[in-house]
Amino acid sequence: MGKAGKTLHMILLICSMLNSSLAKSSIYNVVEFGAKPDGISDSTKGLLGAWKKACGSMKPARIVVPQGHFLVARAVTFDGKSCVNKAISITIHGTLLAPSDYTLIGNALCWLNFYRVSGVSIHGGVLDARATSLWHCKISSKTNCPIGAASLGLRNSDNIVISGLTSLNSQMFHIIINGCEKVIMHGVKIIAPGNSPNTDGIHVEFSSHVTILKPRIRTGDDCISIGPGTSHLWIENVACGPGHGISIGSLGWDLREPGVKNVTVRKAVFLKTQNGFRIKSWGRPSSGFVKDVHFENATMNDVQNPIVIDQNYCPYHNHCPNQASGVEVSDVTYKEIHGTSATRVAVKFDCSSEHPCQRITLEDVKLTYKNHDPQAMCNHAHETALGIVQPQISCLKNEAVDVISKIYDFARLEDEVDFLTTQSEQERQKMKNIKLGDVFKSKEIILAFLVGAGLQVPETKGLTFDEVELI
Ligand SMILES: *[C@@H]1O[C@H](CO)[C@@H](O)[C@H](O)[C@H]1NC(C)=O
Ligand SMILES: *[C@@H]1O[C@H](CO)[C@@H](O)[C@H](O)[C@H]1NC(C)=O
């Protein structure tokens, strides 16, 4: 079969598979269970009725919400605990409306809550939480405003697909993913005004293998926020702004807290956001950590803090005055990040004094501020810069000290270098001003030591030997 023939064959095969699965799946239209597309009648019972039927069916099931506005006047939990069905798809053509009286759902965790479900997919649809009046209550700092509900919650669930969903004007976060495994989100749109309080777009925590592709997010808080216990998170092709950017944190509020690891964000465009990529932890003791994070290929347009690690977060100096964060940040790379900063300090690494950031790598980072070089601010960070990095980062040399002291330890072990064998503080201080060339006679010896100490050869890290010797 030729290539075209093969493709045609594949398409026919997929079509026939789709047909047979559609033919076999039962369809439950919420209108048949009492939902009304008039925007006034409460359709909660209709949704729950269709859910119950789908759950109880052994065959793949499709729940359909047709065109129109369906009021869901209270917080609803789609509980999967007693579902026998592991293949429920929900197709939403219309809009689900929250009650106009925000108090009716304002103290619930989530307005629409999927709990303990497995194998659920949601396609299309608009969730409109209509939260303007709650934000006004919050902004006017009245004390009796409820916290607000997240519009969509996925909790303690696995194998979830959400595609083409739109969330409008949530009370609190738009979408929460908590305690989940294997979630794929594709083409989700999130919209709320830039000044709406706490309306984070997508919040992920205590979850692994979550993939978020092509989200379009305009909101009043973080576009995507990543909480404790998140691992193997993949985010690609993001448009964010207005909003507070993509944020790992705030972490480290709790003394015992699971860490965040293996997070990749690729291809992101930020427009007039407060932050680009942010890692943030409370200035409090904690067992939390952040490691193996890759921020790649982003464009910053007029972003206030394009790259920021803030480990001294302590608003109003409450609950954490003068404490260092226990959260250890390590192995974070920033690669191919270009664009404009709205403030002079485009890169800020303000790490924990007790747990300095380790192995922060910047490669091909080029940011400008009003057509000039911006500045970098750097505290307690050990990092490496490769290729063009603009602004230049002042604590690059800390990495060099780190490398030198590793070589020093190695040398001491081998008893190669006499004058370095004392461990006095004075000698250690002297280390900081030492050039590699003073210690080792030739390039070859330096190379041997680096390789022997399990360190990367400078040339593979984009540094020349001359530069290393200058450090
Ligand atoms: C990191 O997460 C991705 C998914 O986002 C996964 O494919 C990859 O295997 C993970 N890497 C490690 C080392 O666990
Ligand atoms: C980064 O993005 C630019 C434009 O968006 C694209 O041309 C380039 O190939 C991307 N690089 C990588 C490594 O994906």
DSSP string, 80-121: -TT---S-EEEEEEEEEE--SSGGGTTTSSEEEEEES-EEEE
Identify whether 227 is part of a domain.
Answer: no
pLDDT exceeds cutoff 50 at 337: yes
Mean pLDDT, the chain, whole residue set: 85
The mean-pLDDT minimum among 21-35, 274-288, 376-390 falls in 376-390
Pocket probe for ligand 1: among 180, 185, 211, 232, the residue whose CB has the most ligand atoms within 8 Å is 232
In the numeric block, the tokens 């079509």 are attached to 15
What is the average per-residue pLDDT within 11-16?
44
pLDDT exceeds cutoff 70 at 436: no
pLDDT exceeds cutoff 70 at 27: yes
Instruction: Say if residue 415 is in the same domain as residue 385.
Output: no
262 ligand 1 Cβ < 6 A: yes
Interatomic CA distance for residues 317 and 230, integer angstroms: 27
Q: Tally the domains of the chain.
A: 3
Bridge partners (DSSP) listed for residue 338 = 299, 366
Identify whether 243 is part of a domain.
Answer: no
pLDDT exceeds cutoff 50 at 236: yes
Higher-confidence residue of 55 and 461: namely 55
Identify whether 244 is part of a domain.
Answer: no
Instruction: Say if residue 114 is in the same domain as residue 140.
Output: yes
The mean-pLDDT minimum among 11-15, 45-49, 197-201 falls in 11-15
pLDDT exceeds cutoff 60 at 255: yes
Identify whether 21 is part of a domain.
Answer: yes
Look up residue 369 and give its DSSP letter. Answer: B
Q: Which atom of ligand 2 is least distant from the CA of 266?
A: 14
Considering only CA atoms, which residue is closest to atom 10 of ligand 2? 297
Interatomic CA distance for residues 471 and 462, integer angstroms: 14
Token pair belonging to 297:
């290929």
Instruction: Say if residue 161 is in the same domain as residue 271.
Output: no
Higher-confidence residue of 404 and 420: namely 404
232 ligand 1 Cβ < 6 A: yes
Interatomic CA distance for residues 339 and 35, integer angstroms: 49
**Contact assessment for residue 112 and residue 178, using Cβ atoms and an 8 Å cutoff:** no
Instruction: Say if residue 261 is in the same domain as residue 377.
Output: yes
Amino acid found at 128: D
Considering only CA atoms, which residue is closest to atom 6 of ligand 2? 297
Ligand nearest to the CA of 266: 2
pLDDT tens, 93-117? 999 999 999 999 999 999 999 999 9
pLDDT computed for residue 180 by the predictor: 98
Instruction: Say if residue 207 is in the same domain as residue 348.
Output: no
Q: How far, CA to CA in Å, does 34 sit from each of 92, 104, 426? A: 16, 21, 81
Across 361-395, b (16+ Cβ under 10 Å) vs e yields: bbbbbebbbeeeebbbbbbbbbbbbbeebbbebeb
Catalytic residue list contains 123: no
Pocket probe for ligand 2: among 237, 265, 295, 297, the residue whose CB has the most ligand atoms within 8 Å is 297
Instruction: Say if residue 205 is in the same domain as residue 282.
Output: no
Identify whether 401 is part of a domain.
Answer: no
What is the average per-residue pLDDT within 137-145?
86
Pocket probe for ligand 2: among 294, 336, 364, the residue whose CB has the most ligand atoms within 8 Å is 336
State in Å: Cα 404 to ligand 2 middle. 35
pLDDT exceeds cutoff 70 at 43: yes
Instruction: Say if residue 299 is in the same domain as residue 375.
Output: yes
What is the average per-residue pLDDT within 35-45?
98
pLDDT computed for residue 2 by the predictor: 46
Amino acid found at 446: I
Instruction: Say if residue 322 is in the same domain as residue 415.
Output: no
Instruction: Say if residue 420 is in the same domain as residue 369.
Output: no
Pairing label, strands 345-350, 305-313: parallel
Considering only CA atoms, which residue is closest to atom 11 of ligand 2? 297
Identify whether 319 is part of a domain.
Answer: yes
Domain that holds residue 273: 255-394
Q: Hey, which bits of 156-288 come out as E strands? A: 158-163, 166-168, 175-178, 181-186, 189-191, 202-205, 208-213, 216-218, 224-226, 231-240, 246-251, 260-271, 275-282
Q: Indicate which CATH number applies to the domain containing 120.
A: 2.160.20.10
Closest CA to 219 of 280, 266, 173: 173
% of the chain at pLDDT higher than 90: 69
What is the average per-residue pLDDT within 12-35?
69
pLDDT exceeds cutoff 70 at 300: yes
pLDDT confidence tier of residue 455, bands split at 50, 70 and 90: low
Query: 3-7, 140-144, 274-278, 392-396: which has the highest mean pLDDT?
Result: 274-278
Helices and strands, number each (H, E), in the chain? 8, 29
pLDDT exceeds cutoff 50 at 295: yes
Considering only CA atoms, which residue is closest to atom 12 of ligand 2? 297
pLDDT exceeds cutoff 60 at 171: yes
Instruction: Say if residue 121 is in the same domain as residue 163.
Output: yes
Q: Which atom of ligand 2 is least distant from the CA of 336?
A: 1
pLDDT exceeds cutoff 50 at 141: yes
Instruction: Say if residue 449 is in the same domain as residue 421.
Output: yes
pLDDT computed for residue 423 by the predictor: 45
Higher-confidence residue of 60 and 377: namely 60
State in Å: Cα 298 to ligand 2 middle. 9
pLDDT confidence tier of residue 210, bands split at 50, 70 and 90: very high
The mean-pLDDT minimum among 52-56, 191-195, 368-372 falls in 368-372
pLDDT computed for residue 444 by the predictor: 54
pLDDT exceeds cutoff 60 at 338: yes
**Contact assessment for residue 331 and residue 358, using Cβ atoms and an 8 Å cutoff:** yes
Instruction: Say if residue 385 is in the same domain as residue 450.
Output: no
Domain boundary among 221, 244, 274: 221
pLDDT computed for residue 426 by the predictor: 54
Identify whether 236 is part of a domain.
Answer: no
pLDDT confidence tier of residue 451, bands split at 50, 70 and 90: low
38 burial (CB, 10 Å; 0-12 / 13-18 / 19+) is exposed
Bridge partners (DSSP) listed for residue 357 = 381
pLDDT exceeds cutoff 70 at 242: yes
Closest CA to 228 of 246, 211, 207, 202: 207
pLDDT exceeds cutoff 80 at 462: no
State in Å: Cα 187 to ligand 2 middle. 19
Token pair belonging to 455:
């360190």
